[in-house]
Amino acid sequence: MDANQTLFSSVTLLHEVPSLGFEVYNVCVNHPMKIISDGIWTQHGSALPTQYSYTMLELQILIIFVVTQGFHFILNRLGVPFFVSQVMTGFLMGPSVPTGPLEKYKKMLFPFGSPDILSTLSSLGYSFYLFLNSVQMDLSLITKTGRKAWVIGLCCYGIPIVVGCGSMGLSNSTWKRILGEDISALPVVFISHSSCSFAVISWLLNDLGILNSELGRLALSAAFVNDVAGGLWAGIGAAYFGRQNMSMSIRIRNVTAFLAYAIFILLIGRPAMRWIVKRTPEGRSVNKGYIYAIIVVFLGLGYFAKFFGEPFLVGAVIFGLAVPEGPPLGSALVTQLELFSKWFLCSIFVTCVTMKVDLTKCNSLSFVIVISGVIIMVHLVRWLLCMGICRYCKIPFKDGFCLALILSCKGVVDICSYLLVYDAMVQKRTVVDVMIVSVLVLGTASRFGVKALYDPSRKYAGYQHRNIMSLKHSELRIVACIHKPWHSVHIKNVLEFCSPAPDNTLVAEILHLMELVGRSNPIFIAHKLQQSAASSSYNYSGELIVAFDLFERDYLGAVTANTYTAISPVMFMNEDVCNLALDKNAALIVLPFHVKWGGDGSVESEDSNIRALNSRILERAPCSVGILVNRGPSFNSRRIRAAMVFLGGPDDREALCLAKRFVKDVDNSLVVFRLLAHDKDTSNWDHMIDDEAMREISGVHVNLENVRYEEITIGDASQTTFLIKDIANKFDFIVVGRRYGIRSSQTYGLEHWTEYSELGVIGDLLASHDTDTTASVLVVQQQPSHEDHR
């Protein structure tokens, strides 16, 4: 080799192993090694970049990053997952894709010996990636996972292996005639494709936006069982079969040492981690010294694993399971290590390992077809098993097929596992090449298939009326969402606005929404029932529980308050809200507005995540929705002055029904302002329904002393604006309909100036910075129809 092709002073090929694709070289290294280049301005001509390891490392990282982002820029628009871009970069940089005249530059970019330095650095990032994935796994799922997930997870792992190995035993002569000596590769194919990675499945569900759906939760639990079972047997297999020519006593010693190693970490490490959590004051971050100690222990455990035939990564996985997921410790580790390890080093590692693949050497087409057929057979068995179990459990066919697709998904963890097997010289190159390609196919096909077939929002379609208008005299069920501590006071204002009484009962489902940090699986806790799909010992929503327990006691016999905590990614919180509303048959969801006002009327803060969440719920809610805008303090007296602005339409009629419940408390007062257009069409069907709703107000309720009804004819939108600003500061509470997309002469032109489209025109006027008011505003949208969900 010339000086441009190696980091070493000389390289001599000693021998090669064609069957495995390995070559053995004798290399000479200069001491001290050349690390940093002297630069292009050096006085002598020996400053070749390829002679300096650190200079080449920087250049390689830069090129890999640029090429990966280039692939992702194109493939992302086709819906192809990011790991495919990383693999394609590896193919392009490696021998799999011949580059013709550019081949010499590829050899200059990756001179002999330099990929080892890059792989060593990036493999450290991959070990941290696996560690963080284990940290985010809830080990208590082992005892809390339902029977369906256990059966699906274990059957999809064990039965394909039994079927595959059984077919080998029954037809051994046939397999030998087809594959020859390569028959030994089949068990690894059976085992590797029968398992699935929890991290990969979690990423897929998160990417598709179905992590919080019923199917997503079942898939995550089944993947957890499958991954734990597969990891346990892989660890035992590595200890037993790790090296050739080992005596039986050494094999048994290795297996015993592995099991003792795993049990020791979990029994000693878990209590130690809980001690750290107890030493951390609530609401405070974990001491940096503990974080550094955990990293040192993690690296040390990986080192000790080699003494009984296990790879370094085993320590990362097992020790990660010993760390309690979620705040404060798990979230602190994820926050501090995720960016550098997952998105930087691990991304480079995937490219590095796929550079070892050489698709040009897959010369035996029959061998490739046989291995591909075996892989297809394994997944067909898994699909039939999964769909059969789902059918038995009365899960719809389409959902069962989607679950089978999800559990067949492959990704980063699988690619790296296959290449590690190849590095250990226990698998033929061609087999590994076919398995790598199968990962690309399965990972992409699973994503496209599930995205096309599964729509979790279809169950929210409005086949059944779930709104206040349809309640008649039934109890009112409300799902009220809380993000911040100060939201609870204003939510209680809304509940008081409903005038709860023994003859006007109210059921309040209080949902505390928290962002998922430091764990993979979302959790949902029903505090009153002490039931949770997956809970932690960490104290969630303590003050909230006490506050609404006291509220229930204040309205004993009139109010039932149930408190829940949902911890999930911000993007998918709408699933928790809509699922709870659907499950509890709620008529109204109350959402806090994303803007917080100060005592002087100025804006203190805005939360774009809350606004985006509100918009998603408005689109897909299974019932009516109210957005609560708080511009003033909580009610300081039992007598509340309220107003209802009525322009017409289903949203306004829904808001009117809520206002009518309010006046059942004689201490409260209500004024209904009906704004009539000067050019109204009395023959319009919607207008006739509005008149009928108003007759009820002007006929029955107007006789009550606490209700006043006013009709005002509006000439143009400016009169509407003037009226709204005039009444804004005369009341404690104002109820309006959203009326999104409805055009009328009363508001014509104002829709072009709205700042908050989720509030509608009237709600936006009341929430405007130009409107002087301290009233709370509730903007109501009636339950979307079935057509709206399509």
3-state secondary structure at position 714 = strand
Return d(Cα 519, Cα 538) in angstroms, integer: 13
The answer, yes or no, to whether residue 436 has pLDDT greater than 50, is yes
* DSSP codes of every residue in 174-207: HHHHHHGGGGGGHHHHHHHHH---HHHHHHHHHH
Mean pLDDT for 31-46 is: 63
Question: What is this structure's pTM?
Answer: 0.76
* Token pair of 116 as six digits: 């080892």
Beta bridge partners of 513: 566
Does residue 745 or residue 613 have the better pLDDT? 613
In a domain, 463, yes or no: no
Nearest alpha-carbon partner for 417 in 337, 500, 485, 350: 350
The answer, yes or no, to whether residue 407 has pLDDT greater than 80, is yes
Mean pLDDT for 52-74 is: 86
pLDDT of residue 372: 86
Confidence of residue 512 (pLDDT cuts 50, 70, 90): very high
pLDDT of residue 380: 92
3-state secondary structure at position 208 = helix
Mean pLDDT for 228-239 is: 82
Q: Could you give the C-alpha distances from 517 to 190, 213, 570, in angstroms and in order?
A: 35, 18, 10
pLDDT of residue 784: 73
327 with 422, same domain: the answer is yes
Structural contact between residues 313 and 127, judged by C-beta atoms closer than 8 angstroms: yes
124 with 32, same domain: the answer is no
635 with 764, same domain: the answer is yes
pLDDT of residue 401: 92
Share of the chain residues as helix, strand and coil, in percent rounded to the nearest 5 = 55, 15, 30
Q: How many domains does the chain have?
A: 3
For 675, which DSSP code? E
Structural contact between residues 371 and 170, judged by C-beta atoms closer than 8 angstroms: no
Residue 475's domain is classified under what CATH number?
3.40.50.12370
pLDDT of residue 500: 87
For 634, which DSSP code? P
434 with 497, same domain: the answer is no
pLDDT of residue 358: 80
The answer, yes or no, to whether residue 20 has pLDDT greater than 60, is no
The answer, yes or no, to whether residue 492 has pLDDT greater than 60, is yes
70 with 166, same domain: the answer is no
Return d(Cα 504, Cα 533) in angstroms, integer: 33
436 with 326, same domain: the answer is yes
Does residue 4 or residue 403 have the better pLDDT? 403
pLDDT of residue 534: 41
pLDDT of residue 347: 83
Structural contact between residues 195 and 157, judged by C-beta atoms closer than 8 angstroms: yes
Least confident residue range of 130-134, 313-317, 320-324, 741-745: 741-745
Burial class (CB in 10 A: 0-12, 13-18, 19+), 502: exposed
In a domain, 789, yes or no: no
Nearest alpha-carbon partner for 621 in 738, 783, 512: 783
Q: Angle between the 487-497 and 542-554 helix axes, to the nearest 10 degrees?
A: 20
pLDDT of residue 262: 86
Query: Which of 423, 454, 485 delimits the end of a domain?
Result: 454
The answer, yes or no, to whether residue 170 has pLDDT greater than 80, is no
pLDDT of residue 590: 94
* Token pair of 727 as six digits: 């009444």
pLDDT of residue 116: 76
The answer, yes or no, to whether residue 185 has pLDDT greater than 50, is yes
Share of the chain above pLDDT 90, in %: 10
Query: Which of 108, 142, 173 delimits the end of a domain?
Result: 108
In a domain, 461, yes or no: no
The answer, yes or no, to whether residue 536 has pLDDT greater than 60, is no
In a domain, 411, yes or no: yes
* Token pair of 612 as six digits: 């985006």
CA atoms within 13 A on the CB side of 97: 13
Return d(Cα 212, Cα 571) in angstroms, integer: 10
416 with 502, same domain: the answer is no
pLDDT of residue 308: 79
In a domain, 35, yes or no: yes
Query: Which of 65, 90, 108 delimits the end of a domain?
Result: 108
Nearest alpha-carbon partner for 532 in 266, 217, 747, 237: 217
- Over its C-alpha atoms, the chain yields an Rg (Å, rounded) of 32
List CB contacts of 232: < 8 A, sequence separation 6 or more.
none
Other CB atoms within 10 Å distance of the CB of residue 662: 22
Share of the chain above pLDDT 70, in %: 84
Return d(Cα 493, Cα 482) in angstroms, integer: 13
pLDDT of residue 786: 47
Mind listing the pLDDT tens digit for each residue in 675-729? 888 766 666 677 778 777 777 776 655 666 788 888 888 877 888 888 888 888 8
- Look up the domain containing 29 and give its range: 3-108
Q: Could you give the C-alpha distances from 241 to 135, 185, 188, 233, in angstroms and in order?
A: 28, 14, 12, 12
In a domain, 68, yes or no: yes
Mean pLDDT, the chain, integer: 81
The answer, yes or no, to whether residue 33 has pLDDT greater than 70, is no
Mind listing the pLDDT tens digit for each residue in 311-359? 788 888 888 888 887 777 888 888 888 888 877 888 888 888 888 888 8
Nearest alpha-carbon partner for 658 in 464, 508, 478: 478
165 with 98, same domain: the answer is no
The answer, yes or no, to whether residue 190 has pLDDT greater than 60, is yes
In a domain, 229, yes or no: yes
597 with 618, same domain: the answer is yes
Other CB atoms within 10 Å distance of the CB of residue 56: 23
- How far is the first Cα of the chain from the last one, in angstroms, to the nearest whole number? 64
The answer, yes or no, to whether residue 780 has pLDDT greater than 90, is yes
615 with 693, same domain: the answer is yes
151 with 283, same domain: the answer is yes
Does residue 770 or residue 480 have the better pLDDT? 480
pLDDT of residue 509: 92
The answer, yes or no, to whether residue 76 has pLDDT greater than 80, is yes
Residue 188's domain is classified under what CATH number?
1.20.1530.20
391 with 472, same domain: the answer is no
In a domain, 661, yes or no: yes
For 666, which DSSP code? T
